[in-house]
């Protein structure tokens, strides 16, 4: 059974969640600027992508980060925009009108009260959204393991944990402390856990990665944000350990 996501505490969810904040900002831009312009291929145009890079304040995808790789930014160069656009379209908050994306009536309700949409957005995004490089079958198969993943992180991240801490717990026969000692299988499992489990939790705002003083090749330390406790109630809240099964 999938753990229920239900926002019950009074927290500033827009400030804490990069995904919700990006959705709100994109919708507000579309509402005030006459829509989000599209290219001939249907991608968001460079004017909006530049604006999003500057204003979204997305961890690891700031304008400085993005422009250090590309001189000009297209939608494909800013991965967070893929999730933002997909979720806005999936929930029918934006619709295409000729060469622009404009808010729907429901979209304007979202702009006025995004908090009311958080439970739906978080549940769909975390459990059902197909991220780049994933398959529908893999997302569906993972559903039976989410209670294990979330309870494990709930325990390990109380005082902060690394990606290696988590995969060593999940796959003790495959993962090793030193990257040089890892098998191909272990490296694959670690990478998949980072992008399939940890990144969505960070983009939702439930986890925060502390990367102060680290290089791009080093793993940070993950901590739960106040939003985690505000919307998740898990068995491990009253347990000191979790049995993996």
User: Whole-model pTM?
Assistant: 0.91
CATH topology of domain 136-238: Arc Repressor Mutant, subunit A (1.10.10)
* Rounded CA separation 11/222 (Å): 20
Structure tokens at 58: 């997305």
Residue-level pLDDT, tens digit, the chain, 245 residues: 899 999 999 999 999 999 999 999 999 999 999 999 999 999 999 999 999 999 998 999 999 999 999 999 999 999 999 999 999 999 999 999 999 999 999 999 999 999 999 999 999 999 999 988 889 999 999 999 999 999 999 999 999 999 999 998 988 766 555 555 667 777 788 889 999 999 999 999 999 999 888 777 788 999 999 999 999 999 999 875 655 55
Element (H, E) at 207: strand 207-210
Would you kindly state where each structural domain of the chain is located, as residue ranges?
A: 13-128, 136-238
Within 10 angstroms of residue 214's Cβ, the number of other Cβ atoms is 12
pLDDT at 189: 84
175: three-class secondary structure by DSSP: coil
**Phi-psi domain of 232 (left: phi exceeds 0; alpha: psi -120 through 50; beta: other):** beta
Buried/exposed code over 83-121 (b: 16+ C-beta within 10 A; e: otherwise): bbbbbbeebebbbeeeebbbbeeebeebbeebeebbeeb
* Rounded CA separation 150/144 (Å): 12
- The DSSP code for 33 is T
* Rounded CA separation 117/19 (Å): 12
102: three-class secondary structure by DSSP: strand
* Rounded CA separation 73/93 (Å): 24
């Amino acid at each position: 059974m999938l753990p229920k996501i239900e926002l019950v505490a009074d927290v500033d969810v827009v400030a804490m969640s990069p995904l919700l904040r990006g959705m709100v900002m994109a919708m507000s831009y579309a509402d005030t600027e006459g829509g989000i312009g599209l290219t001939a291929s249907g991608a968001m145009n460079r004017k909006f992508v530049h604006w999003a890079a500057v204003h979204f304040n997305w961890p690891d995808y700031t304008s400085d980060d993005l422009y250090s790789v590309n001189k000009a930014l297209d939608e494909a160069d800013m991965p967070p925009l893929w999730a933002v656009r997909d979720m806005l379209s999936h929930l029918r908050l934006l619709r295409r009108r000729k060469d622009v994306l404009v808010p729907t009536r429901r979209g304007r309700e979202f702009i006025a009260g995004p908090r009311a949409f958080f439970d739906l957005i978080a549940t769909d995004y975390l459990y059902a959204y197909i991220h780049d490089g994933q398959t529908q079958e893999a997302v569906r198969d993972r559903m039976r393991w989410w209670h294990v993943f979330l309870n494990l992180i709930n325990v390990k991240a109380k005082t902060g944990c690394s990606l290696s801490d988590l995969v060593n717990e999940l796959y003790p026969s495959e993962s090793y402390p030193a990257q040089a000692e890892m098998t191909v299988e272990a490296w694959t499992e670690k990478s998949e856990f980072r992008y399939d489990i940890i990144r969505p939790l960070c983009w939702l705002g439930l986890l925060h990665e502390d990367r102060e003083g680290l290089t791009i090749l080093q793993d940070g330390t993950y901590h739960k944000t106040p939003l985690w406790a505000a919307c998740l109630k898990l068995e491990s809240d009253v347990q000191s350990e979790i049995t993996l099964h």
